Amino acid sequence: MVLLLFGPPGSGKGTQSGRISNWLGIPAISTGDMLREEIKAGTALGNAAQSIMASGGLVGDDLVNRMLAQRVSSPDSAHGFLLDGYPRTVEQAEYLDRLIEERQFQTPIVLHLDVPMDALVGRLTSRRQCPQCKRIYNLLHQPPRTPGICDDDGTPLITRKDDSEEVVTERIRTYDEVTRPVLAYYQDRKYHQIRGDRSPSYIFEAITGILEPIVSKNGNCCAKPKPPI
Ligand code: AMP
C-alpha cells in the first residue's frame, strides 16, 4: 500500500504518519526529516538544502526526487510506504507517477488533512520535536509528561529552526501557492479529505475508518492491533 499524507505545515501529518506506520507496519518517509538528517550529516545535499529550508521555501525538485527514489528502493519499502511531505509540487507528483509505474508500486491513496489556515501559525510555533525519535509534541494540546523531555526516550525536545513565526508564515504561503495545486492533481484518484482541526485520536480514527476496508480487502491488514484511543 502506498499512502500520501497531505496537509499544510502544522496540520498534524507527523503525528498521524507515526501512528499509521505503526499500525500498518510500513515505513513513514518524511522528506523534511530526511533533509534535516542530510543537513546534520553535512552532506552536499544538506548544504544545498539548508538555506532554502531556513527561509521556508522548497528544495529543488531534482534533489528531492532523487533522494526519494533512493529511499523507496530500500527493502523495507517493498510492500508499501507512507509519504509525509512529498510530493509538494506538481513536478514531484508527475515524477512519483513515473516512479510508481516503473517500480510497479500500487496506486497511491491520498489522505488530505484539511486545517483552516488561521489555526496554523499558533500550532506550529508551539510545536516541539524529539531530535532522536522524531516524535512531535504540541505545548497547547499534546505536551510531554515532563516539560521539555521526550516521553519515549528521555531526550530533551527541540524547537525546529523553521518553526519561528516568520518562517512559518512563509511555509504556509508556499503550501498555499505551490502545494495546494497538487491536491487538484489527485482529486479524481483515490482521494480522501479529513478534517484536521480535531484531536489526533479523532483524526486517526477517521483515517483507520478509510483504510481498514481497503487493507482488509487486500489481505494485508495490519501489522499490529490499532493502538488505544
Ligand atoms: P516538513 O518537515 O515536511 O515541514 O519540511 C520542512 C522543509 O523541508 C520544507 O519547508 C522544505 O523546505 C523542505 N522540504 C521537505 N519536503 C520537501 C519536498 N517534497 N520538496 C521540497 N522541499 C521539501
Please enumerate in sequence order all residues whose Cβ is within 8 A of that of 189, keeping only pairs 6 or more positions apart, or say none: 107, 108, 110
Identify the three-state secondary structure at position 194. strand
Note the pLDDT tens digit of each residue in 80-131.
999 999 999 999 999 999 999 998 888 999 999 999 888 888 888 899 999 9
With contact defined as beta carbons under 8 Å apart, do 16 and 204 qualify? yes
* Cell representation of residue 224: 499490529
Distance 87 CA to ligand 1 centre (A): 10
Say yes or no: CB of residue 53 within 6 Å of ligand 1.
yes
Tell me if residue 98 is catalytic. no
Which atom in ligand 1 lies closest to the alpha carbon of residue 13? 3
Distance 6 CA to ligand 1 centre (A): 12
In the chain, where the domains are located: 2-27+74-218
Which atom in ligand 1 lies closest to the alpha carbon of residue 174? 10
pLDDT averaged over 10-residue windows placed end to end, the chain, 229 residues: 93 92 95 95 95 94 96 92 96 96 91 89 89 90 94 95 88 92 91 91 95 80 54
> What's the confidence (pLDDT) of residue 221?
53
Cα of first residue to Cα of last residue in the chain, in angstroms, is 24
User: Can you tell me the distance from the alpha carbon of 127 to that of 121, in angstroms, rounded to the nearest whole number?
Assistant: 10
Q: Which residue's CA is the nearest one to ligand 1's atom 14?
A: 32
* Cell representation of residue 50: 539548508
> What's the confidence (pLDDT) of residue 227?
57
- Edge-to-edge strand list for the sheet holding 190-195: 28-30, 81-84, 2-6, 109-114, 190-195
> What's the confidence (pLDDT) of residue 209?
95
Tell me if residue 40 is catalytic. no
DSSP 117: G
Alpha helices in 42-89 (DSSP H): 44-55, 61-71
The residue annotated as part of the active site, out of 19, 36, 88, 128, is: 88
CATH number at 2-27+74-218: 3.40.50.300
